[in-house]
Structure 1
Amino acid sequence: MFQIKTFNAIATEGMSRFESENYGINEDNKDPHGILLRSQKLHDYAFPETVLGVARAGAGTNNIPVEDLTKKGIVVFNTPGANANAVKELVVASLLLSVRPILQGANWVQQLEGDNLEEVAEANKKQFAGTELEGKRLGVIGLGSIGAMIANDAYRLGMEVMGFDPYVSVDTAWTISRRVKRAQQIEEVFRTCDFITVHVPLNDATNNLISDKEIAMMKTTAKLFNFSRGEIVDTQAVLKAIEADELAGFTTDFADAKLLNNPKILVLPHLGASTEEAEVNCAKMAARTLKRFLETGVIKRSVNFPAVEMDFQSPYRVTIIHDNKPNVLGQISTEIASLGINIDNMVNRGRGDYAYTLVDVSEKDDLKMQRMKRHLEQKENLIRVRTIKNSEVYNEWS
């Protein structure tokens, strides 16, 4: 039986995928095989040796020590695209709020008194006049699941849309309207767009991606939106530009005391994926991905290891996380063959310094498979070895 430890409240639609006869689920589990979480920070968590995989019900993994887990052979999963629609809708709403003082007008009306409210409202509505998005240019930095959806919907609103992403995937490229102009350089977005929204992961290359230099390129009438991670935009640079009238507005989904109480800045309490539908979608995807990995060794949507899939039809499967170096595959196959075990199928994928290999074998002898596992674990460059037994009821981890 697999043991699952949960942090945070995970939607029941996701947790229900773990059958009670095959899984023990407990937030206090001290020796879990899998961990499921949302926003809990795990950088100070002491991971037990039993942990095989960690799945986050969300796209970002900054709350997980990915690099350390990679060295230990622990696979980290996320759920890209599961909350994309929720974030997209919030960004579109924020675009509208940035040109129409809807919130200010609604708050003003609530304070009116007397029997002639309609007349008073009509006489004073001019102070809440705004502008329109139609015909304005939106720059979308990062054309992943979220950025692509925003680009398409902004075009449907009548905006000109320019996107920049040097790493856009083929699958995502097919979903982007041909009317969305692709910028060859990010500077083109900064210099020509009226609205700029950023949708990239946080890493060393994107930390303070938008700072003094980038804001200086923008139109003084431009408005900036950050729904990715707080650290991607330099808030000090934003404040300086806002105060100097070199930036017309800033909307962020990440609370920062320095940004509060400024009429040109709208701060939201991290509402991007906070919809019932997004939480359910993320939970279902995270649970499905972790479950499949534990039961079959298949890796999909991992942030630290390559995607590897192979039909599991043999009596046993061996999964091996190892250094991505020459001759390692030869060592693996030679060791398996030396024990008189026949290989039915084999697949290998590398990603940076690490690689992942699935080996299906026709062997049915449990003791022989355990001996093979011990032999492989003694080999240099092999980080983690598992054997998975194929069964009609469940695949037993050993």
Structure 2
Amino acid sequence: MSRFTLPLALWLALLSLGAHAVPSCELNGERVSPYNGHTTAGKSGVMRCTDEDGAVRLREQTLRDGRFVGPVVMVLRDGERREYSVNERGNRDGLARTYDPRGTLRKEENLEDGSAVGVQKTFAEAGHLQRLDFALGRRTLLSIGYLADGALSELRCADVSLLPQDREVCGHHGRASQVTLYGAPGTASGTVSYLRGELQRLVVLGEQGRTVRSEELKDGRRIKRVFYPSGALRSEADFIERDPNSAEGREGVSREWAQSGQLTQETTWADGYEQRIEQWYLNGKQKMRQQIRREGRNRERTTESFWDNGQPASVNTERNGRLWGWQKYFSEDGVLLREDEHGERGLLLRRKRYNAQGVLEREERFLEDGSRI
């Protein structure tokens, strides 16, 4: 960064606001230009710039020995006011506040070299606290949303208490919390329960007051459900709750249903991978059955497909996403009509065709270019 010019990041931010006019600036009673480092070289004080036609109407920025370091005040065309400080790297650092055109505090941030650290507050137009976050770098560890009457609209907890406001609602007193969330005053949007910052139970309500989504921790398993507007179960995921830092993978079962209540898909997981997938038609007949096996770096998948009358439609085998070995295809009556053999890289090697009675009619061999012999 040049010793005599504004940090590049700051000027890019100003340009993004559409400030194309040249501002009028003064420092200690002298006219200066932020575009000309010679006019500010070695000087200290507060540079004040005004531009009645620009997107930034007023900017007051601190100089220390010719470097833009310290407090900054910026007033935009619509009256929004921003107050913050920049460090020697040109990044926002320390407490930053944003006010709307009426002078109401709307945001209060704690920053460290441009990154949010610690308590972050957002305020509503009426002035009440609307959101309380606790951040660390690029991660938001805690979030609490508030309505005007102080009721909670959102809650996401950390595994340790970070603020006095989270101790009871996040269950850091040693007992599970019981919290009702509201979308508007007097209108519940759901309930949530935490114990020592870990989610125990969540219920999300729709406009009609029906449960649209739920989540619970039960006997070491995390169970998530989604419901149709009618209240019928749409999907369910039931997995062993793992330590996020554990090397162990996902283990459990996920299921999906039609509105009629017919199970349409079931997937079984183990060691972090899909092991078995089954699908059903709405008439209850089996649609597909798939088995997945892993051997070292190879993954093999055998898929059995069925017609809606229950007869087999095909049996396919894949290795690492490509057809491999013999593939079988059947008529709706369950009669074998065709067999294909695939080799390395999924290339078709041989094909056998059968008539409606299952009698072999023709056999073909294929070369690498697809030609037949």
TM range (shorter): under 0.3
TM-score normalised per structure 1: 0.19
TM-score normalised per structure 2: 0.20
**Larger Rg, first or second structure (1 or 2):** 2
Q: Which has the higher contact order (CA 8 A, sep 6+)?
A: 1
